Amino acid sequence: MVRKDIMNFYFQKAEPVIYDPETYTKEKLYKSSLLLCREFFIKNNLSVPEITEKQNQFKPNSTAYYDKYKQVIHINLNKCKKPEFEFSQNYNFPGWRFDSTILGVLGKQSGFHLENILNEPSQGRIWTSINESPIFKKNDYCLNDFSECARIFITNPGLLRRGRPQKWLFFTKYLNLRPVFDLNWDIILQYSDYNSIESVKRWFLT
């Protein structure tokens, strides 16, 4: 028998995850992130991965693990980073360029699921020929950069469109995918640190 709270969850609609520290809790961020990732796959008529908090699949310090054979995302909520409110070298914020919060972890694992069910588009000639810097770091391998781009495409698509327009076109034209919401990137990040916004603007120029 399916629990009522789970049944209610499946009938809820996703909203943009605009993290406000005054109104969001860890539980709300997790629920909002689940809904957004789930809605992305539904909107694009793709299989929805199962998402579980079971810990038996994890290495000691890992935040998540994607089982491509069972199409299950295992997430370790205790290892996901908390949103930061002062910019630093390791700054993490929901929807930002680097995001190891619950939202970012689920978004990236959704990217691995996307790679799996679409027959590894990151290994194809079109993706590997895109002349844009990786999201995360120089010399990043194709699959990891694809999953990072997918994360941003799901959580803050306006950021990908502005910062990596060729990769945005790959997702929208070649893969024929649509984000759940397509707001300006700075609307999603309106509660983040001022210096982090300036950092993103500099990233646009790279």
Interval 128-179: pLDDT, tens: 899 898 887 765 667 788 999 999 999 999 999 999 999 999 999 999 999 9
Query: Quick one: pLDDT at residue 4?
Result: 41
Name the more confident of 59 and 37.
Answer: 37
Q: What number is the average pLDDT over the span 14-32?
A: 94
Q: Which pLDDT does position 141 carry in this prediction?
A: 65
The pTM of this model reads 0.91
Structural domain spans, the chain:
20-203
Confidence band of 59 (pLDDT split at 50, 70, 90): low
**What's the chain's average pLDDT?**
89
How far is Cα 69 from Cα 77, in angstroms, rounded to an integer? 22
Partners of residue 155 on adjacent β-strands:
none
Query: What are residue 67's DSSP bridge partners?
Result: 72
pLDDT of 140: 63
Q: Residues of the chain with pLDDT > 90: what percent?
A: 72
CB 134 within 8 A of CB 121: no
CA 116 to chain CA centroid, Å, is 16
Q: What are the E-state strand segments in the chain?
A: 50-52, 64-67, 72-75
pLDDT for the residue 7: 39
Mean pLDDT throughout 9-30?
88
Helix locations, 55-171, DSSP H: 102-117, 125-128, 142-155, 157-163, 165-169
Q: Is the pLDDT of residue 9 over 70?
A: no
DSSP state of 199: H
Q: Mean per-residue pLDDT for 68-91? A: 92
Which phi-psi region, left, alpha or beta, contains residue 140 (left: φ > 0; alpha: ψ -120 to 50)?
A: beta
Say if residues 196 and 189 touch (Cβ distance below 8 Å).
yes
Q: What is the average pLDDT across 197-205?
A: 93
Q: And the tokens for 93?
A: 């914020």
**How large is the average pLDDT for residues 23-45?**
95
Q: Which residues are 66's β-sheet partners? A: 73
pLDDT for 6 equals: 43
Q: Which residue has the higher pLDDT, 25 or 134?
A: 25
Half-sphere exposure of 126 (CA within 13 A, CB side): 11
Second CATH level (architecture) for the domain 20-203: 3-Layer(aba) Sandwich (3.40)
